[in-house]
Structures are given as C-alpha cells and as structure tokens.
Amino acid sequence: MDASRFIAGRLRFGGRIAVVSIAVSFLIMIVSVSVSSGFRNEIRDGISDLTGDVQLMPVDMNYISEASPISIKQSFIPDIEAIPEVKDITPAVYRAGIVKKGESIHGVLFKGTPREKSESDTVRLGVSIPIRLSDMLGLKVGDKLLTYFVGEKVKVRNFNIIDVYEGVMDGTDNIVVLADIADLQRLDGWSSDEASVLELTLEPDAKTDAGMRAVTDKVGHIALEKTGEDDDTLIATSVISRYPQIFDWLNLIDFNVLFILVLMTIVAGFNMISGLLIMLFRNISTIGTLKSLGMTDKAIAKVFLRVASVIVFRGMLVGNGVALLLCGIQKWTHLIKLNPENYFVPFVPVHLNLPAVLTADALSWLVIMILLLIPCLFISKVDPAQTVRAQ
C-alpha cells in the first residue's frame, strides 16, 4: 500500500473556502473561454454567410457601376474546386443603391445570389433586409422597398420585402440587402453567366485566420498562373482583409481571455497556497511524528499535495459544472442581450469548445500544483524533536 495515499486519506481538512475559491476561478475561466469562442464563431460564420470566406473579384471592382462583370465560367475554376479546403463556390452580384421611404433615404448595398426556384417564383423582386434597416425606415415583411440605382442613368426598382434578417453586419456601416441574383443581373443588363464576384465558402476546419490566409494565397496563385485568354483578371481577398477591424477586435478578445486565464490561475494558486499553509500549520505535530518515524520531507510533502490536489479537483469539477450550466442556459435562451452596434451580435454568444475547456483545466491544474510546491518547503523547517516535545 502507498503510505502517502493512506495517510492523505486519514487527514481531515474540510477546505470548503478553498474549494469555493477554486470553483469561482474555474467558473470564470470556462465562461471566458466559451464566450470568446462564441464571439469568434458567431461573427466569423455570420460574415462568411454574408460575403463568403474568400472572394475572387476583378481588379477594378466597382459597386456603383454596372460595367465590370466577370464570367462565372473561368477556365481555372476546376483547379480551385480541387482545393480540399474549398467547400463551395457561389457567384454573386453587388450593386449600391439608395432606398427611400417618405422623406427618409439611406444608402445600402444589394447582394444577389442564386435562390431556390420556389422562393424566387413566389414573390417577384423579393428581398431580405437587415433588422437595422427595418428599424430605421419602419419597414416590415410585405412592404415595398423603393430603390434608386445610380449609374450612367438612374434606375428605379420597387422591391418586395419577403424577410427581415439579423446579421453581424448590423454593427458596421454596411447595410446589405439580399436579393435574387437574376433580378440584379437584369438590372445591370448582364447575362446569367456574369457576376460581380465569385465567393468561396471554406470547410469548417479551414476557417481560422491562418487557414483563410493560406487558402486565399492558393486561390490567388491559381487565378494568376492559370488564367486563360478568355478569362478575366481576378484577385483573391479574404474576409479578414475586407473586415480587418472586426477580426482585430476578436483578437483583442482572445488576448483578454488569455489574461483572464492567467490571472484566475494565479488567484486560484495563491488561494490554495494559503489553504495548504493552514493545513500544514494545523498538522505540525503530525509532520513531526511522521519525520520521527522515518518519513522523508519528500514523502510528507506528497501526502499534503495529495490532499491539496483533491481540493483543487473538487473545485474544478464544481466550477466546470456551474460554468457549463450557465453557458447552456445562455446558449439556448440568449438571456443576456448586447447592443449589436457595439458588439456586432444582439446577445452574448456561447460556444462550448470542449478541447479548449479541457486544455484550460489541465494547464491551470498543473500550474496550481506547481505553485503548491512553495508551501511544501515549510515541511523541511519542522523539527520533529520540538514538535514531539510540544505534544
């Protein structure tokens, strides 16, 4: 039988305050990691759904003019489709417009993508507008959206609102109205084989900053090196380069979370140091007795570290349990709301990233146990002769 385990099992130390302090630290850490992952996934996926992860566009891209279409049948498309990280390629038409209701006007950006036939056949000139535009102009589903398009000559269209969506772009200056690509192609006088850009959607595993940059470089290289005589000159841009302020903000959140993890680990570690010191002071006579029986300082330290590790583990379990419960409630109810103009999303997003949670738990537990080696130095200062005499 392991003597240190046997003795550790006989030591009595409630440590409720230590368990609570450890639990609070792990609670804050797990919630921070989950919210950080939630922000990154929610915002990144929202922008990806709206603009694609990577765009192939002409060098002279112009949202106002209808004079710069590209063919959707570039000869190098099969090479791009062969890239493992590329999930889908979708043509899109962009067109800037001015919407008007009563005396109120506002500039918007129309985006046209292919729609299911049943949807586009149901309502002619149907569009989906962001909730921000709906609130600004008092528009709702079923209303008309009077729009002016400025080019060589002014064109007017009266769209029908078929949906109001809530997107991450509501927190930026861009107001994107979603339309059928065929409606915008007719507006610009383009054929069904022409578009403004080609948007690439990547596989989930490739939707990291490094992954998107790597795929963008591959796509740009293919578009440059394998362009045929009848192809357009296109460049590849990632969503990171198009919206750097959003991704810089996400990186700042990640840095703050890292700071919180380090801070909470240190706080939990020092709370446990104080708890272990109290336990050592209460058991000075026990330490002296064990030394007199021939146990080494290392073996005695192992006894108290076992007790401390149990306390840390209990606190970690309690903290994780409460954190997962709170995150689950927020994930399914969106109880805590946010201002999308400041945070890009209308609620606190939560993503339970199990590998990140387990990594945070393991690293924090390891750091805390290393910190607990400091008070164990006290054991070497205990004189068994004096403690036994004191008894």
Q: State the average pLDDT over residues 338-342.
A: 82
- Map tokens 């962001």 to a residue: 130
- Average pLDDT in the 65-87 region? 89
Q: Which tens digit of pLDDT belongs to each residue from 153-187?
A: 889 999 999 999 887 766 556 789 999 999 999 99
Report residue 313: phi and psi, to 5°: -65, -40
10 Å CB burial of residue 307 (0-12, 13-18, 19+) is buried
- Least confident span in 185-189, 339-343, 369-373: 339-343
Q: Using CA atoms, how far apart are residues 115 and 132, in angstroms rounded to an integer?
A: 23
Q: Provide the Cα torsion 189, 191, 195, 200; round to 10°.
A: 160
pTM: 0.79
pLDDT for the residue numbered 120: 46
- The residues near 71 (Cβ < 8 Å, ≥ 6 apart) are 193, 194, 230, 231, 232
Alpha carbons 225 and 79: distance in angstroms, whole number: 11
Q: Can you give the pLDDT at residue 117?
A: 62
* Sign (positive or negative) of CA dihedral 32, 45, 54, 51: negative
- With tokens 């989930």, the residue in question is 204
Lowest mean pLDDT among 67-71, 124-128, 328-332: 67-71
Distance separating alpha carbons of residues 204 and 185, to the nearest angstrom: 31
pLDDT higher than threshold 60 for residue 196 = yes
H or E, element range at 55? strand 54-58
**H helices present in 334-383, as ranges:** 340-343, 354-371, 373-376
Say whether pLDDT at 280 is over 90: no
- Of 41-50, 67-76, 277-286, the poorest mean pLDDT is in 277-286
Q: What gap in Å lies between CA 44 and CA 247, rounded to an integer?
A: 8
Residue 380, helix vs strand vs coil? helix
Query: Quick check: 205 pLDDT over 70?
Result: yes
Give the separation between CA 57 and CA 48, rounded to whole angstroms: 16
Please provide the average confidence, as pLDDT, over all residues in the chain. Answer: 85
Q: Which of 17-21, 87-91, 120-124, 235-239 has the lowest mean pLDDT?
A: 120-124
Cα 131 to Cα 144: distance, rounded to the nearest angstrom: 15
